[in-house]
Amino acid sequence: MQSDFVVNPSNFREILHGSAGYRLECGLRDEVLRKPLGMRLADDDLSAEAGQRHFGWFEGETLLACVIAAPLAESVVKLRQMAVSPSAQGRGLGRLLLENLEAELIRHGCRQVTLHARVSALGFYTKLGFVAEGEEFLEVGLSHRRMQKSLRVFE
């Protein structure tokens, strides 16, 4: 799938915890992931996020997509809270975000990625090389599956 987005190196950026970009990220995550479930991100304890890496896809100063990479082990991260702005969904932006993220993770020694995917998103992650494991389980009231992917290192 081709993306409708013009790609330049400044589109994909790391977001520093507590920054203005982080506040944009929290707003996007709240809009896309929490409000539809009748929840608010402000009700969550976000203190652990300071030790996690946050990434976003920007057009200018507008945040269109975000994802968090939480370290689990020396070379393993768990992706969480991926969100794409409703105005940008279905145009290949999620794929671009994850492709850039994987390259960044590989540069920093990551070899394995895991995530909890909403069942409705399994096809998206499968197309990107993730493999579902185990049975469905409930998380935030929705069915999820654990998925993982080994990152390929070209040396």
20 belongs to a structural domain: yes
pLDDT digits (tens, 9 = 90+) for 76-133: 999 999 999 999 999 999 999 999 999 999 999 999 999 999 999 999 999 999 999 9
Q: How many domains does the chain have?
A: 1
Show the 3-state SS of the chain: CCCCCCCCCCCEEEECCCCHHHHHHHHHHHHHHHHHHCCCHHHCCCHHHHHCEEEEEEECCEEEEEEEEEEEECCEEEEEEEEECHHHCCCCHHHHHHHHHHHHHHHCCCCEEEEEEEHHHHHHHHHCCCEEEEEEEEECCEEEEEEEEECCCCC
- Please name the residues in contact with 4: beta carbons below 8 A apart, sequence gap of 6 or more: 91, 92
d(CA 136, CA 155): 36
> What is the Cα gyration radius of the chain?
15
5 belongs to a structural domain: no
45 belongs to a structural domain: yes
Amino acid identity of 54? H
62 belongs to a structural domain: yes
Model confidence at 152, in pLDDT bands (50, 70, 90)? Answer: confident
112 belongs to a structural domain: yes
6 belongs to a structural domain: no
pLDDT digits (tens, 9 = 90+) for 17-32: 999 999 999 999 999 9
Please give the DSSP secondary-structure letter assigned to residue 134.
E
Query: CATH code at 49?
Result: 3.40.630.30
Q: What is the mean pLDDT of residues 59-63?
A: 92
Residue with tokens 């507590």: 18
1 belongs to a structural domain: no
29 belongs to a structural domain: yes
Containing domain of residue 142, as a range? 12-150
